[in-house]
């Protein structure tokens, strides 16, 4: 988690989480993923089914100016394809 993420930004993320999804708090790991995305960093979040991965990508998309749509599945498939290609190369 980045130390540059201010208290104000954390409060804004909490408010956005409540406004868009109706949740009072983040699940374990979600805040860290959201923070890194908000800083423009590349993120690969490996979380179990039902842990709220979609919120991790959709919330920053809703909070960032000029971004109206999140397409996490397309990005995930691209990452998986690259990962598989790298495995074949290194084996």
Does the predicted model carry a pTM greater than 0.75?
no
Angstrom distance (rounded) from CA 71 to CA 75: 7
The percent of residues in the chain predicted with pLDDT above 70, rounded, is 73
Residue 39 pLDDT exceeds 60: yes
Angstrom distance (rounded) from CA 30 to CA 28: 6
Write down the pLDDT at residue 71.
Answer: 56
Question: What's the rounded mean pLDDT across residues 53-59?
Answer: 90
Angstrom distance (rounded) from CA 67 to CA 38: 12
**Cα dihedral 5, 6, 9, 13 sign:** positive
Contact 33, 44 (CB under 8 A): no
Residue 69 pLDDT exceeds 80: no
Write down the pLDDT at residue 1.
Answer: 45
């Amino acid at each position: 988690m980045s130390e540059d993420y201010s208290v104000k930004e954390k409060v804004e993320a909490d408010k956005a989480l409540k406004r868009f999804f109706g949740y009072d708090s983040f699940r374990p790991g979600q805040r860290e993923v959201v923070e890194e995305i908000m800083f423009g960093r590349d993120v690969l979040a490996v979380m179990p089914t039902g842990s709220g991965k979609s919120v991790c990508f959709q919330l920053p998309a809703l909070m960032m100016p000029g971004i109206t749509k999140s397409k996490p599945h397309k990005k995930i498939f691209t990452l998986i394809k690259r990962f598989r290609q790298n495995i074949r190369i290194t084996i």
